[in-house]
Structures are given as structure tokens and as C-alpha cells.
């Protein structure tokens, strides 16, 4: 089979022989059941990512390449346990000289599919128009002034969800827009607090993780974690505003500290208020659906999802617009609607008691 050069990862198919460049996002040396060493890798580009292996008999075992660096590679795409993976035959660090062969960093950094400028506009508009308390609008505005540049670029996680450039901003906007709908339904939930909780819940990841392409834990991230870092950032911003209400600050801190939901998931406390519950479940829902979207893109159908610890079924996405069009056409064909049943009045509404 001819070698396919610089083919985007998302377009790889079983049996492809591929050669090109990628970002190495995972590199772990392991041993198989026979005691032979191999590398467990993950390669990524702007289109997606894939698990990769370097087996003990591959020359690539001795290649010069490091995690969170760009690599040049050659290998074959194979199906293993219903999932595609790359078997690497050769691998080395990419160099400036590789540009003549198509090496371009901008094509290799996983990024949000959304327009970052549009995401930013939606977030700032939402904070200005849907947060009622002036002091909370000020808190949001000053926080974005200080952290906005990083927020636009940062991933939301190392690997689990939204783990790409702009992922944190995408996650925050998606959560905020969903939270607004929930607060419209549950009118007794404090919308201002939920929206500010969304803004701050993962802000600690700006210091827990490095920016792309080096999406890995910082020393502060390892030792403290984003939950407490986020609480500290929130506390600093509140204290920078003279006269900021203590009760609001305390509730916002609770939102940040409890958003993971369970103590075993690194929340120092569990959600104790309606607003904290909304924040936790919206966060959990958005992160899980993002994981399933990525899994569907990689391999539609039924598959075992390691992050969720269970099998999931991911059929092709339904074309909602086409369905709505078909439904509208069907309504025109059936304009008369349902015919009333031809039953006597007493059969439709029988008396409660018969004499």
C-alpha cells in the first residue's frame, strides 16, 4: 500500500500506511507479558488524536523524541479491540529542516473547533447582560482583564475533556449557556452565583496545567491542584474589590471547592446549595458529552470507554435539520390532524357511579 503523507489523523483508516508529523502527547515505557519493552504513546494534530505503540522490534524504540514535542513518524494504522491505533515503525524529533516536507506547528496543535473570537464574545456578552449584581459584573470583568489572554488559549484538562487549545474557554461558555437555561426553569436558583461559579470553577487550571503544546501538570498543579488554586484566585479577586460582601465571597468559594461533586474526586467539600448542585451537574454533563463526542469521532458504534469505566454506544449523529424538514413536510401532508373517535358520549366520559 502506498504511503499517505501528512494525512490528518481524523482521516486515518484501518490499513493506512502513514508518514508525517504530530505532537507527542503521551510517552510511557511499559513491558509486555514476555518482559519485552514497548512504548505506549498518543499522537495528535489539529484534527484529533490516536493511541500509538512502538513495539520492541521497531527501530523507533531507539529514536530521539520526547513527550510534548513535535515528531516525525512513519507507521501503519491497525484495528485493535474495535479501536484504531498506530503501530510506529520509525520516529524522531521534528526539525526546522522538516519544513520542506510539510512540518507546520499550527497544523499539529489540537484546537477547539469553535471560533475563539466568537466564544469570547458570547462569554463577555453573557456576563454583562445576564449577571444582575453590579459588584459581580465587576468581579467578572476584572477577572477577565487579568486572565483573559490565558483563558482564550488554555486547555481544560490534560487528557479527559476539552484537552486542546481553547478548550477551557469552550467548556466555560458551554456550561454558562446551559446553566442559564436551567436557572430559567428553576427560578429560585441564584443565576448570578451559578454563572460566576462557572467562570471560576476551573480557573485554577491556568496554573495547574501548562499551555499548549506542553499540556502537562506544573509543580503547583501537582502539589495543590486546580480546585484550591481556583479558590485562591477567586479570594484574591474578591479582596481586591473594596466592600465585597463576605456572604457572596463565601458562597462563591463553596461553589469552586465543591464543583467536583465528591471528596474522592478532589472536592474538599460536597455541594451544599442549589447553586453548587447546578454547577456540579452542568460541569459533569458538559465534560462527559465532550468525551463522548471525541470517542464518536474516533470510532462510532459500541466501544469501551476507559474514562467512564463502561461500554458506550455512539451511533452516527442524527441530522436534526433534515428531521425537522421531514417533520414539517409531514405536517403539511396531514394538515387535518387527528379525527375524533366516533364513540357515544357516555363511553368517553362514563359516570362515576351507576345507579
Query: Can you give the pLDDT at residue 344?
Result: 56
What pLDDT shows up at residue 345?
Answer: 56
How confident is the model over 188-215, as pLDDT tens digits? 999 999 999 999 999 999 999 988 887 7
Is this model's pTM higher than 0.85 or not? no
HEC profile of 110-157: CECCCCHHHHHHHHHHHHHHHCCCHHHHHHHHHHHHHHHHHHHHCCCC
Classified as helix, coil or strand, 305 is strand
Average pLDDT taken over every residue of the chain: 90
Q: Phi/psi class of residue 68: alpha, beta or left (left: φ > 0; alpha: ψ in -120 to 50)?
A: left
Span of 17-21, 102-106, 278-282 with lowest mean pLDDT: 102-106
The predicted-structure confidence for 261-272, as pLDDT tens digits, reads as follows: 988 787 899 999
For residue 213, is the peptide bond before it cis, meaning its omega torsion is within 30 degrees of 0?
yes
Its sign, for the CA torsion 124, 128, 130, 133, is positive
Span 4-107: which CATH code? Answer: 2.40.50.140
Position 340 confidence tier, pLDDT thresholds 50, 70, 90: low
Name the 3-class secondary structure at 173: helix
Q: Which of 103-107, 156-160, 346-350 has the lowest mean pLDDT?
A: 346-350
DSSP H helices, the chain, are: 116-130, 134-153, 167-185, 191-201, 205-208, 219-223, 226-239, 246-258, 274-298, 320-333, 345-348
CA atoms of 147 and 206, how far apart (whole Å): 8
**Regarding predicted confidence, which is higher, 95 or 320?**
95
Dihedral sign computed on CA atoms, order 36, 75, 158, 193: negative
pLDDT band at 351 (very low <50, low <70, confident <90, very high): low
Torsion sign (Cα): 221, 226, 227, 231? positive
CB atoms under 10 Å from CB of 355, counted, come to 3
Percentage with pLDDT > 90 across the chain? 63
**CA pair distance 80, 292, nearest whole angstrom:** 19
**pLDDT at residue 162 is higher than 80:** yes
Domain range annotation of the chain: 4-107, 116-298
Are 192 and 199 a contacting pair, CB within 8 Å? no
State the pLDDT at residue 251.
Answer: 98
Structural class in CATH, domain 116-298: mainly alpha
Res 342: pLDDT:
62
What is the per-residue pLDDT for 352? 62
C-alpha dist (Å) from residue 275 to 98, 190, 193, 245: 52, 7, 7, 18
Question: Computed over its alpha carbons, how large is the radius of gyration of the chain?
Answer: 26
Amino acid at each position: 500500500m502506498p504511503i499517505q503523507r501528512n494525512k490528518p489523523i481524523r482521516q486515518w483508516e484501518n490499513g493506512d500506511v502513514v508518514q508525517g508529523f504530530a505532537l507527542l502527547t503521551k510517552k510511557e515505557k511499559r513491558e509486555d507479558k514476555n518482559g519485552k519493552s514497548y512504548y505506549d504513546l498518543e499522537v495528535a494534530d489539529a484534527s484529533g488524536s490516536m493511541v500509538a505503540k512502538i513495539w520492541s522490534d521497531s527501530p523507533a524504540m531507539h529514536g530521539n523524541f520526547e513527550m510534548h514535542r513535535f515528531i516525525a513518524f512513519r507507521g501503519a494504522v491497525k484495528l485493535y479491540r474495535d479501536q484504531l491505533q498506530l503501530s510506529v515503525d520509525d520516529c524522531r524529533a521534528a526539525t526546522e529542516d522538516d519544513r520542506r516536507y510539510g512540518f507546520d506547528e499550527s497544523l499539529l496543535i489540537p484546537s477547539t473547533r469553535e471560533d475563539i473570537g466568537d466564544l469570547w464574545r458570547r462569554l463577555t456578552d453573557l456576563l454583562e447582560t445576564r449577571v444582575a449584581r453590579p459588584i459581580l459584573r465587576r468581579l467578572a470583568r476584572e477577572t477577565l482583564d487579568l486572565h483573559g489572554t490565558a483563558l482564550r488559549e488554555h486547555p481544560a484538562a490534560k487528557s479527559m475533556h476539552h484537552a486542546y487549545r481553547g478548550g477551557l474557554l469552550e467548556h466555560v461558555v458551554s456550561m454558562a449557556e446551559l446553566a442559564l437555561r436551567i436557572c430559567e426553569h428553576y427560578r429560585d436558583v441564584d443565576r448570578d452565583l451559578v454563572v460566576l461559579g462557572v467562570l471560576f470553577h476551573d480557573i485554577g487550571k491556568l496554573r495547574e496545567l501548562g499551555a499548549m503544546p506542553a499540556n502537562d501538570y506544573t509543580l503547583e498543579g501537582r502539589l495543590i491542584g486546580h480546585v484550591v488554586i481556583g479558590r485562591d484566585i477567586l479570594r484574591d479577586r474578591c479582596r481586591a474589590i473594596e466592600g465585597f460582601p463576605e456572604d457572596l465571597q463565601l458562597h462563591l468559594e463553596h461553589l469552586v471547592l465543591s464543583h467536583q461533586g465528591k471528596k474522592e474526586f478532589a472536592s474538599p467539600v460536597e455541594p451544599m446549595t442549589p447553586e453548587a448542585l447546578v454547577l456540579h451537574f452542568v460541569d459533569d454533563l458538559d465534560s462527559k458529552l465532550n468525551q463522548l463526542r471525541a470517542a464518536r469521532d474516533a470510532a462510532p458504534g459500541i466501544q469501551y470507554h476507559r474514562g467512564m469505566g463502561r461500554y458506550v454506544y455512539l451511533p452516527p449523529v442524527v441530522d436534526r435539520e433534515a428531521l425537522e424538514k421531514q417533520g414539517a413536510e409531514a405536517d403539511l401532508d396531514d394538515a387535518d390532524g387527528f379525527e375524533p373517535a366516533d364513540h357515544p358520549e357516555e363511553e368517553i366520559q362514563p359516570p362515576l357511579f351507576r345507579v
